[in-house]
A and B are shown apart, each in its own frame.
Chain A
Amino acid sequence: MAATQEEIVEGLAEIVNEIAGIPTEDVLLEKSFTDDLDVDSLSMVEVVVAAEERFDVKIPDDDVKNLKTVGDAADYILKHQG
């Protein structure tokens, strides 16, 4: 069953918390991975791999650069999840 946007943001928050140590409640739609959440380009690869597994979605490398905010990632996953 496909995840809702709310469930996706919740899942991303847990992933970001695991990888960057940011409290889950700070992981909000408008937050930038790089500027607000201490997720650099290497850690972003980890976020993407974890999200792919969790939401059964493929995020090609070329699309990762467009995922600037948590909202960008949630929308992408919502649209592409299996």
Chain B
Amino acid sequence: MSSTNRTVVVTGVGATTPLGGDASATWEALLAGRSGVRLLDEDWAADLPVRIAARIAVEPGTVIPRPQARKLDRSAQFALIAAREAWADAGFTARAGEDPTVDPDRLGAVVASGIGGVTTLLDQYDVLREKGVRKVSPHTVPMLMPNSPAANVGLEVGARAGVHTPVSACASGAEAIGYAIEMIRTGRADVVVAGGTEASIHPLPIVAFGNMMAMSKNNEDPQGASRPFDTGRNGFVMGEGSGVIVLESAEHAARRGARVYAEAIGQGISADAHHITQPEPSGNGIAHALQNLVEATELKPAEIAHVNAHATSTPQGDVAELKALRKVFGHDVDHMAISATKSMTGHLLGGAGGVETVATVLALHHRLAPPTINLDHLDPEADGDVVRGEPRPLPAGAIAALNDSFGFGGHNVVLAFRTV
């Protein structure tokens, strides 16, 4: 039970994103090269410098009954929807214990968000000022706390081995999945539901990110605004949603005859120690994470066929990431099909690592790398084979894929998966 180097596999995927209300709708849209970005038509957006975002495709209020939804921040609603899908997709039929194939004491949940319940916080502050003390919801604290999505997912599936919320800005979702892999590898749990979520399309976060000069202000062409690796990129587009996977020890999955999407090989983590928001321009911090990944696992650079890049469509970050790949993997980069799915989903911040892990796992499962849209003129400094146009078939045989996620604060997280 408590061996320290167990093989970990992915047995379920779930997502609710700007491209679709579940993982398969999201995947189909990624392959078709559809953009989820649109002009914000809410009154509050009318006078903002940034008036574009990638809104969720299926409103959570149409999926979660109102009595439950009103006690959940939007970020937790997304996470719950994605987690339910992943849980059912893994073949579980009820909560742990009620479904006898999973022991609640051996089940964990690790779900992260970059910002937490920011819309609840701001909305309830409005209630306090406009309607007074008595009207502030008694659910405010459990709604806005950053661990709320993890806690609610844990309650939903009956997780008693531990419920966690790593916070590392836009690397949070990936860090959650990395943490979950380690929980299983080291024997703390047999099954962990893990991912990321974010719901921050609200005037304050949009204005605040905009004032950092981090966001695209291309309001005239919403669907063309997120353009990773293109010479015309000028910042990210905010997205919302969640991606969640079910991770499981290989023995546990085999014992219950579960369908396995991919092996979760492990993670590489580093920190830049460079600047609070600027990426380290040479890519050294990211390279350190990639080196740590290779040293900590049996991953061979020669087997990496696909990279779901972090690539947020900012001038500096996209190029630094490719420099790091080249630095660590040399000519092996030439056989990596690199996809920047944020060109379609926008940047889901703490949800990005979750949604992009779902995309990475499905890319291995279907052996197809999604295209990068809006890539009209590849930046000459973008040194790598970025997929554009049609989805790219990936080679037969054992292949691996990486999912990169980096966050403000200098956090670098790289996750690695392999076909089974």
Interface residues of A (CB under 8 A from B): 19-21, 38, 42-43, 45-46, 49, 52
Contacts and interface: CB of A to CB of B under 8 A. Distances in A.
B297 interface: no
B139 A49 contact: no
Interface of A: prevailing SS: helix
B65 A21 contact: yes
Nearest to A19: B67
B277 interface: no
Contacts of A38: 67
Interface of B: 65-68, 70-71, 134-135, 137-139, 142
B138 A45 contact: yes
A19 B134 CA distance: 16
A21 B138 contact: no
A75 to B, nearest CB: 22
Nearest to B139: A42
B73 to A, nearest CB: 14
Contacts of A21: 65-68
Contact of A20 (B67, B138, B139, B142): B67
B134 A49 contact: yes
A33 B342 CA distance: 47
Contacts of A19: 67, 70
Contacts of B68: 21
6 contacts: A19-B67, A21-B66, A42-B71, A42-B138, A46-B137, A49-B135
Given A19-B67, A43-B139, A49-B134, 18 more contacts: A19-B70, A20-B67, A21-B65, A21-B66, A21-B67, A21-B68, A38-B67, A42-B71, A42-B138, A42-B139, A42-B142, A43-B71, A43-B138, A46-B137, A46-B138, A46-B139, A49-B135, A52-B134
Contacts of B70: 19
A66 to B, nearest CB: 18
B144 to A, nearest CB: 14
Contacts of A49: 134-135
A45 B71 CA distance: 13
A42 B71 CA distance: 10
Nearest to A20: B67
Contacts of B135: 49
B290 to A, nearest CB: 46
Most A CB contacts (10 A, CB to CB) among B135, B138, B142 go to: B138
Nearest to B66: A21
Contacts of B66: 21
Contacts of A45: 138
Nearest to B67: A21
Nearest to B141: A42
B199 to A, nearest CB: 21
Contacts of B65: 21
B64 to A, nearest CB: 11
A45 B133 CA distance: 12
Contacts of A20: 67
